Structure 1
């Protein structure tokens, strides 16, 4: 049986010493995936190596051996230490190496097509669109990677003042030709074993964190005292937002919804900890309602009074584009500088970087425990694969 207990003091010290060695005592940055790879090469007894992980990746979820738990416990040891945890947060908030080239393509062409994600200029606005059309705009490993590249380019763009986060038109028979905000985590990939543990962490610390906190500079910690490169973000609910698609709305500065749409976070049915939703949803919608949504599976329709705690404006389908433009115009009317300043002021009051780090110290382990639990397989078979079989 996989040992899910937190590391003892000796192993925690070993993990932190390894982090110091790999980062040159904090003088260089490694992303989470890079850190785990380098750590396995340097200390194979502490972390699973590439061959072991490749064998694990080939197994369906029900046959996983639990080797990724070692990664979770290692990361927990790092995030539980304030200085090292903040350093890793800093590493993940930096633009990726491809960012400058992608931003240049966007500036030149007005479009950045990354396949599963597209960024397109509309005047002073950029639309970042999830185009995983065959999967109802669900999030999976390649989509999450593309979203981070898209967010990097959007934030580096010099001509735009705000960004629209939206799902594209899907080609599923039931919804063909319609836009959808997104179906959340790709549960087929999860059930078939194609979702690695590290994906959960890199999503929360990657594109989602960059929407919320902006891009960091390498020479200063991106806390609330440092200037980050950020813009206003407007989230849009077309049709429905499930799970991860709802989570993304929680880091937006405004949300516009299509009349008749709905959102939920079906964590109970999936059997997972839903990213940073437990950190953010209670402050937006209140603790009791947040628990109903996360733990009891409550779906909120946008015409319910409670929806207005998250949704700024609801519009009929034929007026949705106008509503998005008007909300964006109102949001940036005071200029980009005041937007960034107000965003930082909200963060210091609600979710300073050190609180995010402390949350990750819990999340890194708890999501791994859920990910490797037989209960997750049972939940998926009860609520997802059975539903698919019924059509």
Structure 2
């Protein structure tokens, strides 16, 4: 068993770090051999919860050394790797499949299926953070002006699940998913969060369901407007009330059930980006308007929109909120990056207010003057349905689609979005495994469990 004090990452393994050149296959072999040597040493260690301090320092140094090598390899070969995985960009491969293919085709570059499965046996705090290696890979691909736009396009394509459900949705006007309900009413499709047990918080299942729902809305020709609203919840404090969204499910995050690829990256590259930019239906078209099909989106806020819930409002064409509601991005409290909130909030509220919300944890109540910067209309709860019908009529006008497209092109360049996500991929996954975040989610989980036990739940 290894018990020595942790050496410098660069000298942790008995072989020197690989020297890379310009030959993909030779460099890939060198990387694979180097990483395999380290993995053999890591395999001698007990799982993280059972390690002593010296063993944990060694493990951290070993992973750091491998990450240095991966970064150096990708600095030279990102485009060649991406081309190998997509047959010269002739295939559009979604991010989960891309990362899995990278593990098979280039051993040691990202964690393989067995390594990820091994980590899933533990809560987040007891893992080695192999998803960090996925973040390094995703960041490199998105940063590339060649591979990055192609990946963005791949994630704007309709999902197979939505295509399978489309015929029935067109016939019935209804799609009932695990955590989301989609209903067509006239020229509007109403998408309702139904994670009632968790205040409509976002988890892996909801992210997958939302992308399917958004695809269905965008593929149905009779729909001109999408309406996003939270359903009624089961929480004792809000039972029977609609809640827009409580943001990321921190209990799932503590338990390691919030995935980096499917959730943290998938929501930004998937359904939220589709809401903003549309669904890619003709990649060969020259004009963006010919490449995508897009619709107007209306957000309806009942009670609150916290974290990821507020982030969704930043891509809506119109937002209606009840007068007692509030919005917030509690990034400073949670310790993670609030998605693309840092990119998008400033252009709505200005820099000072955005910093108060993101860095200081400020809530914006619908009675605050600043509420008009993030919501278009604030009404009493009993007037929301009427306001929604009026907004659906206005957003369904023929000229709206073309003008929203031009507004979005002016406000958020695709390259700006891609470059932000390249940094986000690396920063967010590192935050998800940082000591302060893990301590916060554990404290919240313990507090929640104590309340449940105290109430007999």
TM-score (norm 1): 0.95
Name the structure 2 match of 1:362.
423
Name the structure 1 match of 2:43.
none
Aligned: 1:48 with 2:114:
no
Name the structure 1 match of 2:391.
327
- Give the C-alpha shift of residue 225 in structure 1: 6.0
Name the structure 2 match of 1:208.
272
- Give the C-alpha shift of residue 350 in structure 1: 1.1
Q: How does 1:82-121 map to 2 (within 5 A)?
A: 82-121=145-184
Aligned: 1:31 with 2:94:
yes
Query: What is the total number of aligned residue pairs between the two structures?
Result: 388
- Give the C-alpha shift of residue 365 in structure 1: 0.3
Cα 1:159–1:81 change in 2 (3 A) is same
Q: Is the 8 A contact 2:79 2:146 kept in 1?
A: no
Q: How does 1:267-278 map to 2 (within 5 A)?
A: 267-278=331-342
Q: Pick 1 or 2: higher relative contact order, CA cutoff 8 A, min separation 6.
A: 1
- Give the C-alpha shift of residue 17 in structure 1: 2.0
Name the structure 2 match of 1:168.
231
Q: How many Å separate the matches in 2 of 1:330 and 1:19?
A: 43
- Give the C-alpha shift of residue 332 in structure 1: 2.2
Q: How many Å separate the matches in 2 of 1:366 and 1:262?
A: 28
Q: How many Å separate the matches in 2 of 1:223 and 1:80?
A: 23
Name the structure 1 match of 2:436.
375
Q: How many Å separate the matches in 1 of 2:423 and 2:343?
A: 11
Cα RMSD (Å) of the superposition?
1.8
- Give the C-alpha shift of residue 101 in structure 1: 3.0
Q: Is the 8 A contact 1:6 1:73 kept in 2?
A: no
Name the structure 1 match of 2:47.
none
Q: How many Å separate the matches in 1 of 2:294 and 2:372?
A: 25
Q: How does 1:190-269 map to 2 (within 5 A)?
A: 190-198=253-261, 199-220=263-284, 224=288, 226-269=290-333
- Give the C-alpha shift of residue 389 in structure 1: 3.1
CA deviation vs aligned residue, 1:153-205 (integer Å, no higher than 9, x gap): 01111112101001111112221111100110000000111112112001101
CA deviation vs aligned residue, 1:202-223 (integer Å, no higher than 9, x gap): 1101111111111012533798
Q: Is the 8 A contact 2:187 2:396 kept in 1?
A: no
1:349 corresponds, among 410, 421, 426, to 410
CA deviation vs aligned residue, 1:283-334 (integer Å, no higher than 9, x gap): 111111111111110000011100000111111111110011112212223x
3-state SS, counterpart of residue 115 of structure 2: helix
Name the structure 2 match of 1:307.
371
3-state SS, counterpart of residue 248 of structure 2: coil
Q: How many Å separate the matches in 2 of 1:221 and 1:59?
A: 46
3-state SS, counterpart of residue 73 of structure 1: helix
The unaligned stretches of length 5 or more in structure 2 are 1-59, 453-457
3-state SS, counterpart of residue 297 of structure 2: strand
Cα 1:328–1:290 change in 2 (3 A) is same
Name the structure 1 match of 2:380.
316
Moved more, 57-66 or 230-239: 57-66
TM-score (norm 2): 0.82
Moved more, 194-203 or 230-239: 194-203
Q: How many Å separate the matches in 1 of 2:445 and 2:71?
A: 37
Q: How many Å separate the matches in 2 of 1:326 and 1:281?
A: 26
- Give the C-alpha shift of residue 43 in structure 1: 1.1
Q: How many Å separate the matches in 2 of 1:93 and 1:276?
A: 17
Moved more, 138-147 or 2-11: 2-11
3-state SS, counterpart of residue 293 of structure 2: coil
